[in-house]
């Protein structure tokens, strides 16, 4: 059981600091800025056979993980915009497991999702670097978790999310 948990969360679960400060947010923004290049680099040597290897028993294939990253980070981009333009918006959840089973997530060309990640992250990082500290205190409501989160929390969560799935892809390479 513990081994399966390590395969699911190779870098541990996301645990944000108690106080999210401006310095931490800038580190997370830097992580988001670097992520598309990291994913492009790590996937550049993967063969079509490698892309079909699941990162754990009953887990997604490397290909599905890459497409999931694009799907998820598109949602992050939308959530950031909603949080900045509405008062405590309720974000829309999505069924990532069902998305991963669609044809584009299961068999699609990974370079399309890597291009999406590059574009989304370029836009997102540009926007985040223009915000005031108080903007990161803005909140949204997550219906699945049934609680409010700050924009700062969301930025940290997605910086972690990229590293989390990079570790999954690295484990399939081994």
Q: Facing residues of 142 across strands?
A: 147
- What average pLDDT does range 22-38 have in this prediction? 98
**Residue 138 and residue 135: Cα distance in Å, rounded?**
5
- The confidence band for 1, taking pLDDT boundaries of 50, 70 and 90, is low
Q: How far is CA 119 from CA 48, 70, 74, 98, in A?
A: 24, 10, 10, 24
Residue 136: is it exposed, middle or buried by C-beta count within 10 angstroms (0-12/13-18/19+)? buried
Over residues 8-18, the pLDDT tens digits come to 999 999 999 99
- The confidence band for 26, taking pLDDT boundaries of 50, 70 and 90, is very high
**Residue 66 and residue 92: Cα distance in Å, rounded?**
22
Q: What is the pLDDT of residue 173?
A: 83
Please state, as a whole number, how many other Cβ atoms lie within 10 Å of the Cβ of residue 8.
Answer: 13
Q: What is the torsion angle, in degrees rounded to the nearest 10, for the CA atoms of residue 139, residue 65, residue 118 and residue 28?
A: 40
Angle of CA points 123, 85, 93, to nearest 5°:
80
What's CA 85's distance to the chain center, in Å? 21
Max intra-chain CA distance, the chain: 47
pLDDT for residue 62 is more than 90: yes
Over residues 82-103, the pLDDT tens digits come to 999 999 999 999 999 999 999 9
Percent of the chain with pLDDT over 90: 91
- What average pLDDT does range 150-171 have in this prediction? 96
């Amino acid at each position: 059981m513990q081994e399966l948990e390590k395969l699911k969360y190779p870098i541990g679960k996301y645990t944000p600091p108690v106080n999210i400060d401006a310095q931490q947010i800038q580190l997370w923004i830097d992580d988001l800025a670097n992520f598309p290049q990291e994913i492009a680099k790590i996937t550049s040597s993967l063969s079509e056979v490698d892309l079909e290897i699941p990162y754990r028993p009953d887990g997604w294939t490397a290909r599905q993980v890459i497409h999931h990253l694009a799907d998820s980070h598109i949602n992050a981009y939308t959530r950031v915009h909603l949080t900045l333009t509405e008062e405590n918006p309720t974000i829309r959840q999505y069924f990532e497991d069902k998305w991963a089973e669609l044809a584009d997530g299961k068999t699609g060309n990974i370079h399309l999702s890597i291009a999406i990640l590059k574009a989304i992250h370029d836009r997102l990082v540009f926007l985040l670097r223009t915000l005031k500290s108080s903007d990161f205190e803005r909140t949204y409501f997550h219906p699945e978790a049934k609680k409010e989160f700050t924009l700062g929390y969301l930025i940290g969560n997605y910086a972690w999310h990229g590293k989390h799935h990079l570790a999954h892809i690295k484990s399939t390479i081994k």
